[in-house]
C-alpha cells in the first residue's frame, strides 16, 4: 500500500505522484532523465485488467450484435475488430484501473540495454543457423 501513490526514481530519488496524467507504462524522470517501466508484477496485473475489460465489453457487444444481425461471420469480424481497437485504445484507462486496484510499482528500464541484448541474441541465432547449415553441407559432402 505504501507505494500505491508515488513512484521514486531509482537513480536520483525524486518522487513522482501517479496521477491520471502521468501514469504510463514507461515513465522517465524529469530530473535525471532515466526511464522506469512497470515491473513484472504490475505488468501482469495490468494485462489481466486489460484482458478482462476487453473481454467484458466484447462479450456484451457480441450478444448485442447477435441479436441485431443474423450473420455469424459478420458478428465475429466485428467483435474481432472491436477487441483489437479496445486493446489499443484502453491502455491508459486500464493502467489507471490497475493503479487503483493493485497499485503500480516500477523498476529500472534501460531501452538501450534491452536493444543491445536483443541484437546480441540475434547474432547468436544467426551464428547457430550458419553452423547448422555448415553441418548439413558437410553431411551432404560425406555422402
Q: Which is nearer to Zn ion, 11 or 96 (CB)?
A: 11
Q: Which is nearer to Zn ion, 7 or 9 (CB)?
A: 9
From residue 107, alpha-carbon distances to 25, 47, 81, 94, 122 in Å are 11, 17, 33, 19, 25
Stretch (H or E) spanning 15:
strand 15-17
Question: Nine-digit cell at 54?
Answer: 476487453
Shortest distance (Å) from residue 11 CB to Zn ion:
5
Shortest distance (Å) from residue 43 CB to Zn ion:
21
Shortest distance (Å) from residue 13 CB to Zn ion:
7
Contact residues for Zn ion (CB under 5 A)? 9, 11-12, 14, 29, 31-32
Q: Which is nearer to Zn ion, 90 or 105 (CB)?
A: 105
Shortest distance (Å) from residue 21 CB to Zn ion:
18
Shortest distance (Å) from residue 18 CB to Zn ion:
15
Q: Which is nearer to Zn ion, 34 or 96 (CB)?
A: 34
Stretch (H or E) spanning 62:
helix 40-68
- Under a CB-based contact definition with an 8 Å cutoff, are residues 36 and 9 in contact? yes
Rounded Cα–Cα distance for residues 71 and 55 (Å): 21
- Under a CB-based contact definition with an 8 Å cutoff, are residues 38 and 98 in contact? no
What is the sign of the dihedral through the CA atoms of 107, 40, 84 and 54?
negative
Q: Which is nearer to Zn ion, 26 or 76 (CB)?
A: 26
Amino acid at each position: 500500500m505504501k507505494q500505491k501513490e508515488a513512484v521514486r526514481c531509482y537513480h536520483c530519488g525524486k518522487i513522482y505522484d501517479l496521477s491520471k496524467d502521468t501514469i504510463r507504462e514507461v515513465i522517465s524522470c524529469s530530473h535525471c532523465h532515466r526511464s522506469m517501466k512497470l515491473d513484472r508484477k504490475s505488468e501482469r496485473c495490468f494485462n489481466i485488467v486489460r484482458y478482462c475489460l476487453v473481454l467484458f465489453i466484447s462479450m456484451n457487444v457480441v450478444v448485442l450484435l447477435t441479436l441485431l444481425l443474423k450473420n455469424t461471420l459478420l458478428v465475429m469480424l466485428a467483435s474481432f475488430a472491436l477487441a483489437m481497437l479496445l486493446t489499443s485504445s484502453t491502455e491508459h484507462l486500464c493502467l489507471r484501473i490497475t493503479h487503483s486496484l493493485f497499485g503500480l510499482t516500477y523498476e529500472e528500464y534501460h531501452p538501450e540495454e534491452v536493444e543491445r541484448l536483443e541484437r546480441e541474441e540475434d547474432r547468436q541465432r544467426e551464428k547457430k543457423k550458419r553452423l547448422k547449415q555448415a553441418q548439413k553441407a558437410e553431411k551432404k559432402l560425406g555422402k
